[in-house]
Amino acid sequence: MAYTKRIDGRKFDETREMKAEVGVIPNADGSAMFSFGDTVAIAAVYGPKPLHPQHLQNPQKGIVRCVYDMLSFSVTQRKKPGPSRRSQEISKVTEWALSPIIKIGEFPNTVVDVHIMITQANASTRCAGINAACIALAQAGISMSEMVSAVSIGKIDDRIVVDLIKEEEDYEEGEGATDIPMAFLSRSGKISLLQLDGKTSPEKLKEAIEAGEKACKMIHELQVSALKKINDKDKTGN
Amino acid sequence: MEVSNLTKKRIINYMKEGRRFDNRAMLDYRDISIELGVSKNAEGSARIKIGNTDVIAGVKLETGEPYTDHPDAGTLITTVEFLPMSSDRFEPGPPRIDAIETARIVDRGIRESGFIDFGKLCVKKGEKVWTIFLDIYSINDAGNLIDAACLAAVCALKDAVFPKYNEKEEVIEYGEWTTKKLPLTDSTPITMTFHKIDDTLLLDPIREEEDASEARLSIAVSGDKEIRINSIQKGEETALDKKEMFKIIDNAVVKFSKIKDLIEKSMSEKEKSDKRGRKPEKE
């Protein structure tokens, strides 16, 4: 049977309810929460600050360092605390997704630390993490050329759907499920993250990228409006 | 200790006048807020804020072999991670001694108070028992992580329910829950950490006060009518005299009932308004 109706009743091009909040971690220079439905990510940014150990410093420019992880109880089957191969890979691709927008060339020998933690997981955690991190970077006042927004596009059987949930990822009928997380830069429209797990035709992949671009525009608007809220707060002094 | 000598001197001068940076009395806590069911996939979870200090604790249950010396008792494994995101003084990597010590203080308070009835966590004597994984994470460190971690741990345990257990195949069906709560007793342990700065005793230090602290004493208290002290940990290099010890013990008893009332009130309100929307059990 073809995938004609989504498990949670959403339209094929509809994301789950999204929320964004700025300044959730008072100690950090910038912080934010971003959620797609039951997937909740928080991010904190510290820096730019001198990088230790010193041999990692780059005298030409500052660097971005990213750590993604999940709380042990954020998934149904407990995840052993501490970094895993999966979380290390996601940390790295998140770093690559964020790097093109961060302009810290004028801050040699420094580091901007981005910490992402998933507090509740139901698929698309890396995308929620990137969205939160981008807002946190903006709040921290890191100079950025544009913003980045990420979304997970799926191909369930032969249908392109936006923002997968766990049950869709596990869909096995027909052509099964293909998960394609991607990130778009807000101004240049460039792609800074693209991963794919599953199988798809070149045409469908192109369709997925188009769908991702559309969804990322909406996510970008939400990120901006969350940041504006805190700016308004600052103005009224609350 | 990472606070500057100037700040430390200032804190001490304030103490001499009986004042604190945030105008609290020496033995007052900042506002405590308790949120339950903050992470849906956990068997139980809680987020505690004491002022700006923010901690999340979660409970996951698994089945496993019992220890050979307690063939019919369940087990508890407590971990604490001080996340680098919660403060610029924490770095990624394996837990350092401060996080390990905090985990052990949390664990001992819960274990020694008899808060968990481990005998009721036995599935099959000598073969299979429930293991409680209690994991605690700091989200924002604004001082007094020890007390916040202990409080979050207790609330997460109170919030927890058993996952569905398939008795035929002897496996847990994760993602589905029963309505059965953990076997907990009435002796809720509350841990309070007293600090000594100059000649003053204080509770619930902010980050700067914690840095300036010369000695600390964590004391876990439980009980209803009869109050019991279940565990103590003295930290930092300065010694305390007998008079100070007695003063701490007396104050711990007074504070205990106040905090316990606060938890119970907040727990009953939270339980009524629990909107976690967990998936109901499948028949």
Minimum-distance CB partner of B135 among A81, A113, A115:
A81
Q: What is the CATH number of the domain that holds A208?
A: 3.30.230.70
Q: Do A71 and B137 touch (CB under 8 A)?
A: yes
Give residue A36's domain range: 18-236
pLDDT of residue B273: 57
Region A191-200: mean pLDDT is 92
User: Given a cut of 80, is residue A191 above it in pLDDT?
Assistant: yes
- Backbone conformation region of residue A13, classed left if phi is above 0, alpha if psi is from -120 to 50, else beta: alpha
- The pLDDT value recorded for residue A236 is 55
Q: Is the pLDDT of residue A16 over 90?
A: yes
Residue A42 in contact with partner chain B when CB distance is under 8 A:
yes
Nearest to B85 among A38, A44, A122 (CB): A44
pLDDT at A53: 86
Q: How far is CA B148 from CA A75, B26, B32, B221, in A?
A: 23, 18, 9, 15
State whether B135 and A71 contact (CB < 8 Å): yes
- A49 contacts in B (CB within 8 Å)? 88
- Which of A61-70, A221-230, B221-230 has the lowest average pLDDT? B221-230
Substitution target in B35, B60, B85 with the highest count of A β-carbons within 10 Å is B85
- Residue B163: which pLDDT band, with cuts at 50, 70 and 90? very high
Rounded CA separation B127/B133 (Å): 19
pLDDT at B108 over 50: yes
Contacts of B60 in chain A (CB under 8 A): 72-73, 78
Tell me which residue has tokens 């507090």.
Answer: A119
Q: Please name the residues between 54 and 83 in chain A that touch chain B, using a CB distance below 8 Å.
A: 67, 71-78, 81-83
Q: Is A110 on the interface with B (CB under 8 A)?
A: no
- pLDDT for B274: 55
Strand-strand pairing, B44-50 and A191-194 = unpaired
- Flag whether residue A7 sits within 8 Å of chain B, measured between CB atoms: no
Q: What is the pLDDT of residue A231?
A: 67
Nearest residue, CB atoms, A72 vs list B60, B92, B142: B60
**Which chain A positions have a beta carbon within 8 Å of B87's beta carbon?**
27
The answer on pLDDT for A238 being more than 70 is: no
Query: What's the average model confidence in pLDDT over A153-167?
Result: 94
Inter-residue contact A157 to A173 (CB < 8 Å)? yes
- Does A236 contact B at CB distance below 8 Å? no
- Lowest-confidence region among A86-90, A114-118, A138-142, A172-176: A172-176
Does residue A5 belong to any structural domain of this protein? no
Domain residue spans of chain B: 5-272
pLDDT band with cut points at 50, 70 and 90 for residue A199? confident
Asked, for residue A40, whether it belongs to a domain, the answer is yes
- The answer as to whether A93 is a domain residue is yes
Q: Is there a contact between B135 and A113 if contact means CB atoms under 8 Å apart? A: no
pLDDT for residue B272: 62
Question: Does B60 contact A78 at a Cβ distance shorter than 8 Å?
Answer: yes
DSSP code of residue B51: T
Predicted local distance difference test score (pLDDT) of residue A1:
62
Q: What pLDDT is recorded for position B5?
A: 87
Percent of chain B residues past pLDDT 90, beyond the cut? 75
- CB contact (8 A) between residue B86 and residue A25: yes
User: Has residue A60 been placed in a domain?
Assistant: yes
Which residue from B minimizes the CA distance to A121?
B41
- Does residue B55 carry a pLDDT above 50? yes
pLDDT band, residue A233 (cuts 50/70/90):
low
Mutate: best of B39, B79, B82, partner A, most A CBs <10 A: B39
Q: Considering its fold, how many domains does chain A have in total?
A: 1
What's the mean per-residue pLDDT of chain B? 90
How confident is the prediction for chain A on average, in pLDDT? 93
A8 assigned to some structural domain = no
Q: Please give the pLDDT value at position B277.
A: 47
Tell me the pLDDT tens digit for each residue of B9-31.
Answer: 999 999 999 899 999 999 999 99
- Most confident range, picked from A191-200, B88-97, B134-143: B134-143
Asked if residue B278 has pLDDT above 60, the reply is no
For A72, name the nearest residue in chain B, comparing CA atoms only: B135
**Cis, bond preceding B189 (omega within 30 deg of 0):** no
Cα separation, B263 vs A203, in Å, equals: 58
Q: Looking at the domain assignment, is residue A58 inside a domain?
A: yes
CATH number for the domain running over B5-272: 3.30.230.70
In a domain, residue A2? The reply is no
